[in-house]
Structure formats: C-alpha cells, structure tokens
Structure 1
C-alpha cells in the first residue's frame, strides 16, 4: 500500500503507519508499507498531530503497557512511574498515557520545561540539572515501579536505590552498558530488571489515534520543517532539546 509520508511513515490523506523495524523508515513524500501497519486518520486528527504517533507514541504505549504492566483504563493498581526527558518526543506521550492509567508520575526535564511537563499531568517534576534531578529522587520519597528512560545513559547505580522491589527500567535507547546490565539481571534472576525491546502493532496505533481524536492525548509540536529542510530537522532532533515532536512536511 502506498501512503503519503510525513516524517518517516506518517499521516497525510489516507492515514499513516509505522515502517518495518527491520528495514526502518525514511523521509520521502510516498512510501510502501504493509497494510496491517497503517491506520486511517480521522478528520478530527490533523496530519501534524498524527505524525508523532507511529514511533514515539507507540514506544511510550508499549513501554507502559507491555513492559511496565500499566492498564491505561485505570483499572489496575496504582503504579509509581518515572519518565526521564519528559518534555521530549517519547517522554511527553509517556507522561500523558501514564496519567490515563492512574499512575503517580514523576518526571525529569530542563528548567524551562517544568511548567510544560506539569501541564501534561506529571505529579512531580525534577530539573535534571539539580542534585535531586541527577539522582532521580522522587520529592515525595516514592520508589518507582517502572522508569521510562528517554534520556541519555545513566549507570544502574543511579536507578537501583530508587526502584521498588520489582521495579523495572525500560530504556528506549539502550547503549552497550544497558545491554550488559540487562544480561546480568537475567543471569542473576534479579527482581529489578532492565528492559529495552518493543514490537509495534497496528491495533495499538489505532488506539492512540482514537485518544487524540477524543482529546485525551495530544501531540505537542516543537517545530515544522519542509521536506527540503529535512537535514535541519534532523540536526535539531539530534541536538536533543526539542519540546515535543519535530515534524517534516511535504
């Protein structure tokens, strides 16, 4: 199926979807993807709003539901969730989705984004440049049942004292040290765990689109770039200081 693209495989006209994890995505006006990876875009959801969902939104959703075990309808027990880099692409979705699941959310971000992250619903917000923020300590002293780690690498020694008995660190961009920690936790049967793998499904994408349509989830757009300026968009993304999503438009 040919789908017009926005920022990898995204939303325009028919709908949008996620490209294969094996072959990756790309920046082009049209692309061919499997139909079961696409979802129609309702008129209530703009192309730009939908554009962040296939990767960042799905990553946040899968981290919270499959790895952290959070029920987004709020029917499960309340969990304490930490979201690092909470003002970024994945982080700003994770905060909103965690609150839908009735979690107590602690979040980290830069000082300029504290009010922004509070408005997303976070119960506690830490400036990551302060000693408390660098130590990932909840102001209320809560231990985290799950950490949705969207920031640069932290050593396990920073996470461990802040985790509940069965707490997990779900690292969305694991490096070699994170992989080593994951392997060692498995080998030693540790109650604390480090997770780092997700699989995207069309039904989850459909669910997120419905949340946006109903006003229960929002895509915050940092900036938009034309396709001819894709290099500038990529450079801004790599810089790591975007608030929400960067959108590339045809």
Structure 2
C-alpha cells in the first residue's frame, strides 16, 4: 500500500517520503480501515521532529533515539472498514467509520489498523474529509469543556486560540452547552469565530484579554504561550483554567508547549480555589459518539482550511508547524 513514511527526526519536506509498505492486518480487537481521509494535527509534527526534547524521555513507547518508533504519522482518519479482527462485534466490513489512532499513528496511508474502541460510525451528514477533521480536536474540546471544566449554561467561557483546530470545536461546543463564549484569535479569523457561535471575539493583535479587567468562569488556553499569571488574572476567584495547545515549531525546545502544563501541575494546589487543569486525552469511542450526535443535530460542524492529496503530506505538515493554520488541514487518500 502507499504510505507516507518517516525514518528519522527532521523537517517535513526532508523526512516525510511517499513509499510502498506492507498492508497491515487486523489483530484481535482491531479493525482494518481503508482510509479515505486523514487530518493533520500538531501531535504529528511534534512526533515527526521529536520536539519538545522532554517528550522523548516521557514517552519512550513513541519516541526513539533517532526517529519515532512507528514510521507512519497520522492520528485522525475516516474511511471504510475493510476487515475486523476476532472479538470485534461493533463493526463489519463496509461500515463507514472515523476515529483517532493515538500517538502510534498510521493514518497517512491507504490502510490503517485501529482498536475498535477508538472508532465510531461516521456522521451521516459529513464527507470523509470532514469526518477526519473531527476526532482528536473535537474530543479534546469536548473532554476539556464538558468533562474537566464542567461548563454549565450561562457561564462565561473564553477560548484562547479560537480559530485553531481544537478552538473551532471548543467555541461551538461551549455555545451548544449554553455558555456565553468569548473567542480570541487574530484579525483575519474574527468573522469565522463569530460565525461559529461566539458571543464576542477579541482580536489579540490589538487587545490583550488579560489586561481588560474582566473575568471568565472558564478559560481554555489552546496556545501554550500565555503566562499562567496572565490567565489566572482573567479568571473568576473560583474559575477553571484548561491548559492545552500544540503551538508552532520555533526551532526546537526542551519543554515547548508542555512548559505551561508543567507549571500548571506544580501550581495547582496553591492556586485553589481556582482550578488549573492540564489536559491530556486518550482515544475513546464515547467521545466520538457524543460528537456525532452534536454534528448530526447541526450544533457542531468541522471547519477545514485546506485539503491536500496524500502525496502532499509533507506540504500539509509543514504548513501546520510553521504557520498559524486556520482550523483543520486534511489529506484526501481516496
């Protein structure tokens, strides 16, 4: 099968190569998916570059000394079930599915194997490209707002990084819950964020939300670039700060966007009654099922900046890691 293969750490144009590899087989509990589309995430370029350096020590099952343990990037996929392994009862060949393969990746290929527990039936009102844009970004937004922060109707929620992959879902999910949503983004994305349901949009190139003297019940920081003190100053005394974000490549780093999460963990106890919650998520079909309901009801829709053919994967990843991509980038495989 055709796949985008990586053997060593480095920049996308030099390490992501089109190649032919053996088609994987579905083991017990697994599903073999004929991939129609795969989304690009910040996690892909972090693993591709082995950046930040601390990640190589923290996740040895993913990071090797000179390159990732697995040669094919790509977490988010949408496609058609080709075969199922023993013990799989939720899916049969021919089913249209979408899901998150986790850090092991494998989505930038014509076929991918996934645990059945990380897949769900594709929303009927989405194309494969649109469905591929949902799993990791949508699940992160849903888990952070609904499960960790426990956002309630009427609460004031600020999404910093509202025009990014997770941010576009977070604005819609918070609005669907009934929160009063403030989005923070750059000038060119103000209209987009407003169209997704934000009650107010702050252009960070002209206005610093942390210097306004206002307070929000929940702040979802998806940039990883604001100081904790700035975010906490804009929280209510009992507010919740969600810490996530993949950032853009800045020449290599020790901690990268993980720095703000480490600080959050260290200060969490002393910050009470404010809550500082670093966000880590594992693939779960339950998140996908909930997202499918929101999408099919019309409350949430994926936003795609651009699609690329599989052969142009290096170009897509390079764009994501070097620029502030607007919403999602997706590879079309078939």
1:122 matched residue in structure 2? 198
Query: Of residues 273, 277, 285 in structure 2, which corresponds to 1:195?
Result: 277
Corresponding residue number in structure 2 for 1:221: 304
TM-score for both structures, normalised by structure 1: 0.88
Cross-structure match for 1:159: 231
TM-score normalised to structure 2 length: 0.67
Aligned to 1:68: 149
* Kept in 2: contact 1:136–1:159 (CA 8 A): no
Q: 1:87 to 1:42 in 2, by over 3 A?
A: closer
Indicate whether 1:107 and 2:137 are aligned: no
Shift of the alpha carbon at 1:177? 3.9
Unaligned runs of 5+ in 1: 71-75
Hey, what's the Cα distance between the residues in 2 that align with 1:142 and 1:37? 40
Per-residue deviation, 1:66: 1.3
SS in 2 for 1:147: strand
Q: 1:91 to 1:34 in 2, by over 3 A?
A: same
SS class of match (2:102): coil
Q: Quote the Cα distance in structure 2 between the aligned partners of 1:12 and 1:136.
A: 46
2: CA distance between counterparts of 1:176 and 1:211?
Answer: 33
Counterpart of 1:53 (choices 100, 119, 134) is 134
**Does 2:116 match 1:35?**
yes
SS at 2:78's partner residue?
coil
Cα pair distance change 1:244/1:177, threshold 3 Å: closer
CA contact (8 A) 2:77 2:107 kept: no
Is 23-32 or 147-156 further displaced after alignment? 23-32
Deviations along 1:57-87, whole A, 9 cap, x unmatched?
11110010111102xxxxx442111101111
**242, 245, 249: which is aligned to 1:170?**
242
Q: Tell me, what secondary structure is at the counterpart of 1:81? A: strand
Structure with max Cα Rg:
2
Q: Decide which moves more: 116-125 or 175-184.
A: 175-184
Alpha-carbon RMSD: 1.9
CA distance in structure 2 between the partners assigned to 1:79 and 1:103 by the alignment: 5
1:25 Cα deviation after fit: 5.0
Q: Which segments of 5 or more consecutive residues in structure 2 lack a partner in the other structure? A: 1-30, 39-73, 81-95, 246-256
The 1:85/1:106 distance shift into structure 2, 3 A limit, reads: same
Q: Is the 2:168–2:193 Cα contact (8 Å) retained in structure 1?
A: yes
1-side partners of 2:155 and 2:99: how far apart?
30
Give the corresponding residue for 2:100. 18
